[in-house]
Amino acid sequence: MEWVTLAVLCWAGFYDLKYKKVPNWLTYGLLLAAILFHSFYGAVSMSLFGAGIGLGWFLIPYLLGGMGAGDVKLLAAAGAMAAWPGALYVVLYSSVAGGIVVIALTLKRVDFQDFWVALAGGPRRFFKSIWMSGRERRKEKVPYALAIAIGYAIYLLL
C-alpha cells in the first residue's frame, strides 16, 4: 500500500507543479485510505497521530501565508499513511526536500546577467537588487506537494 501512496503523492506533486494546487478529493481520499488501511492492523490511533503530526508541522507556515491548505492536508495524509513514528521521518525528509525544491526553482528563475551587474555595482546595489527581486517573488507559489512526494519516497527507501 505504501507504493500506491507514493504513486498518488507523485501524481499530486506533478499536478501541483502544473496547476499550483492540490485537489481536495485526492488529499481526503488518501487520508481515508490510510485510516482504513491501518484499521485492519489495529493501528488507527497511530495513523491519526501521524496525520496530526503532518497537519501540525505545516500549520504555522500555512497560517502565516507561506503555503497553501492543500499542501498541509497532503502532508497530513502522508503522515497518516506512514503512521507513528514514520510520520516524523516523512515531515523531516519533506522539509529538506522542500528546501531543495525552493533553491532549484529560485536558481531556475535567476537572471545571472543582472546578478553579476548588481554585484559589480557594489554591496549596496547588490543587496538592493536581492531585496527587490525577493519582494517580487514572494507571491509565487512553491509546488510543495512535489517535496512531500520526494520526502515520502526517501522515507520508503530508507
- Enter the pTM of the model: 0.82
Of the candidates 72, 82, 61, which has an alpha carbon nearest to the alpha carbon of residue 152? 82
Please write the tens of the pLDDT for every residue from 41-55.
Answer: 889 999 999 999 999
Query: Does residue 81 form part of some domain?
Result: yes
- pLDDT of 133 strictly over 80: no
Query: Does residue 33 form part of some domain?
Result: yes
Query: Does residue 53 form part of some domain?
Result: yes
At 72 the pLDDT is 94
Average pLDDT, the chain: 86
Number of independent structural domains in the chain: 1
* Full domain range(s) for residue 44: 2-98+143-157
Query: Does residue 114 form part of some domain?
Result: no
Cα gap 50→88, rounded to integer Å? 8
Q: Which three cell numbers stand for residue 98?
A: 522542500
Type of residue numbered 43: A
Cα gap 142→51, rounded to integer Å? 22
Please write the tens of the pLDDT for every residue from 53-112.
Answer: 999 999 988 898 878 899 999 999 999 999 999 999 999 999 999 989 887 877 676 666
Query: Does residue 107 form part of some domain?
Result: no
At 30 the pLDDT is 95
